[in-house]
Structure 1
């Protein structure tokens, strides 16, 4: 399968590149830094390209079976998560190919007996002011996607603590923040990559969001 990854050198993107190559897929890795792209695993199945995500055209995706949006940016530019999602969706209206995969935040998940949004809990943390715009924007991104019914898309959210690390056995859910038997809510980048590649290879979700957590 031919997979294009936007934001391929980031925390999530680099894990996705490694997992996709491990499974024998053909990967096109897009990022803003040539230096970081050069640090990705060498493979005959990997093509790298320095590319501004907002300068991408439909022609850039002509051979892609799947496009993964692993884009990350500074909190001050968090609105770009929404802008990129709308740009990608606009390119593929009234199509079923390629499939679009969006990595969303944990803030849009529900938690507690009243099923409130986890972003509300994040906002109560005085240390969150520096990054709060990101989960807030990713919630808006999901709300936008939920109204899209003529594009083949799927979203995935990590749990509360999204961190670098190898894949572990994992839990899957829909809209509720997952907590494991140790009352921990975390997702490693390796787990995220495995869950996404599993979904790509054997689709279980369509025009919806699901979530994954380390077991």
Structure 2
């Protein structure tokens, strides 16, 4: 399978590159830094490309089977999460190929007895002002996607603590923030990569968001 990964040098993107290559897929890794792309492991199935994701056209996108949006940016530019999603969708309206996979934040998940949005809890963090715009805009991104019914998309959210690390056995849910038996809500980048590749190889979700957490 041909898989294009936007933001391939970030925490999630690099884990996705490694997992996709491990499974024998053909990967095109996109990033804005040639220096960072050069740090990805050499592999005959890996093609690296310096490209701004906002310049991708339908002609670029339709040469691959799956496009994974692992885009990350500074909090001051968090609106670009929404902008990129809208651009990718606009380029692929009324198509089923390629499939779009969006990595969304945990802030759009529901939690508590009243099923409130987790972003409301994040906002209570005394240090939230420095990063709150990211989960807020990822919520806007999901809300936009939920109105898209003529593009083949799926979204994936991590648990509350999304961190670098190896894959573990994991839990899968829908819109509720997941916690494990120890009441921990964590997702490693390796777990996220495995869950996404599992979904790509054996689709279980269509035009919805699901969530994964380390068991």
Question: Is TM more than 0.5 here?
Answer: yes
Match of 2:109 in 1: 109
Q: How does 1:163-178 map to 2 (within 5 A)?
A: 163-178=163-178
Distance 1:123 1:207 in 2: 28
Give how far 1:120 is off: 0.1
Tell me the number of residue pairs that the alignment of Structure 1 and Structure 2 aligns: 215
Distance 1:145 1:61 in 2: 18
Distance 1:34 1:58 in 2: 23
- Gapped regions of structure 2 (runs ≥ 5): none
Secondary structure at 1:148's aligned position in 2?
Answer: coil
Match of 1:193 in 2: 193
Secondary structure at 2:107's aligned position in 1?
Answer: helix
Give how far 1:27 is off: 0.2
The one-character-per-residue Cα deviations of 1:85-130 (angstroms, maximum 9, x if unpaired) are 0000001100111000000000000000000000000001111110
Contact kept? 2:156, 2:212, Cα under 8 Å: yes
Give how far 1:56 is off: 1.3
Match of 1:64 in 2: 64
Secondary structure at 2:155's aligned position in 1?
Answer: strand
Match of 1:83 in 2: 83
Give how far 1:61 is off: 1.9
Q: How does 1:136-147 map to 2 (within 5 A)?
A: 136-147=136-147
Give how far 1:28 is off: 0.2
Secondary structure at 2:30's aligned position in 1?
Answer: strand
The one-character-per-residue Cα deviations of 1:35-72 (angstroms, maximum 9, x if unpaired) are 11000011000000001111111222232000000000
Distance 1:155 1:20 in 2: 18
Deviates more, 1:61-70 or 1:2-11: 61-70
Distance 1:13 1:105 in 2: 14
Distance 2:184 2:77 in 1: 30
Match of 2:94 in 1: 94
Secondary structure at 1:107's aligned position in 2?
Answer: coil
The one-character-per-residue Cα deviations of 1:181-207 (angstroms, maximum 9, x if unpaired) are 011000000000000000000000000
- Would you identify which runs of 4 or more consecutive aligned residues in structure 1 move more than 2 Å? none
The one-character-per-residue Cα deviations of 1:11-36 (angstroms, maximum 9, x if unpaired) are 10000000000000000000000011
Contact kept? 2:62, 2:97, Cα under 8 Å: no
- Gapped regions of structure 1 (runs ≥ 5): none
Contact kept? 2:178, 2:212, Cα under 8 Å: yes
